[in-house]
Amino acid sequence: MKVILAESAGFCFGVQRAVDVVKKQIQDGSKPLYTYGPIIHNEEVVREFEENGVQVMEEDRVDDYEPGTVIIRSHGVTRAVEESLKAKGHTIIDATCPFVKKIHRAVDEHSKAGEHIVIIGNPEHPEVRGIVGWINGNAYSVISDNESAFNFSVNSQSTVCIVSQTTFNHKKFQELVEIIKQKGYDIIVLNTICDATNKRQVEAAEIAGRVDAMVVIGSKNSSNTQKLYEICKTRCNDTYYIQTADDFQPSDLGSIESVGITAGASTPNNIIEEVQKKCQK
């Protein structure tokens, strides 16, 4: 069986940076050591850190934790969360992805200028909730699909600033922007989908279009992995979404000549390698 592994599979820059920050704090012996929510969307990585004394701080129980070192996850948090943690005596180490921080600065600046902020993304995703927390005032909307884009409406004199969740589907982003543009508003579009996400999506689509089966590896609650699966599924009917090598057997693929493998930005290399070896046997 021919196995094609996507070059972009695995940790992106922002995720690797966040993981490295946690590892350094473990080595430095920081105690108590927390991450605000799971540091990344990968249960295997979070479990490994917990075994090394890192506690995942639950967002609705912040008052229950004694002062310590809190690492802000790669998805980022709201301004209010940062201020609250500092007020409770915690030392903050910010591992927010730099591309996400760029969005925080953009919505802060544009909302101060009186513009209506539109975030294209999943309203329940922690990255999007964090972005909302850097907007000044309530002049914002979160748009995730065609229906919400068609229903979007603001004062005709408003300037609309559009940003995106970094892991959003690039093609879908363009589609939603076009729907909003047709409404005739004065619009500023900031394409904040990170280059690594776009590259990963394009590469996954290309591979899926020339193999008999496609395997997408990543956590079930990983937004970027879900997008990869959706993209691959449109190009290859036999597309499988797994979290670890234990979730997959080569016999699941049936009689095929080629299989492609890609993985979300929070998937460790060792898991990708295990899946690749299984396919090669």
* Residue whose tokens read 């496609």: 214
Delimiting residues of CATH 3.40.1010.20 domain(s) in the chain:
2-10+196-280, 99-193
What pLDDT is recorded for position 250? 79
What pLDDT is recorded for position 41? 85
Structural contact between residues 190 and 216, judged by C-beta atoms closer than 8 angstroms: no
Residue 94: φ, ψ to 5° = -90, 110
The alpha helices in 133-218, defined as continuous H runs, are 146-151, 170-181, 195-208
Rounded CA separation 103/162 (Å):
10
> Which band of pLDDT confidence, cut at 50, 70 and 90, is reported for residue 244?
very high
What pLDDT is recorded for position 128? 97
Residue 48 structure tokens: 């490994």
Delimiting residues of CATH 3.40.50.11270 domain(s) in the chain:
13-96
Per residue in 42-92, pLDDT (tens digit) is 888 999 999 999 999 998 898 899 999 999 999 999 999 999 999 999 999
Rounded CA separation 261/255 (Å):
17
Number of H helices, E strands in the chain: 10, 12
Per residue in 137-191, pLDDT (tens digit) is 989 999 999 999 999 999 989 999 999 999 898 899 999 999 999 999 999 999 9
Mean pLDDT of 244-265: 89
* Residue whose tokens read 């229906």: 147
Total count of residues recorded for the chain: 281
Rounded CA separation 75/81 (Å):
13
CATH class of 2-10+196-280: alpha beta
Catalytic (active-site) positions = 127
Which SS3 state, helix, strand or coil, does residue 74 take?
Answer: coil
Q: 165: part of which helix (H) or strand (E)?
A: none
pLDDT at 254 over 80: no
CA distances from 268 to 126, 128, 271 (A): 21, 24, 6
CATH no. for 13-96:
3.40.50.11270
CATH architecture of the region 99-193: 3-Layer(aba) Sandwich (3.40)
Contacts of 271 (CB under 8 A, 6+ apart): 44, 217, 244, 245, 263
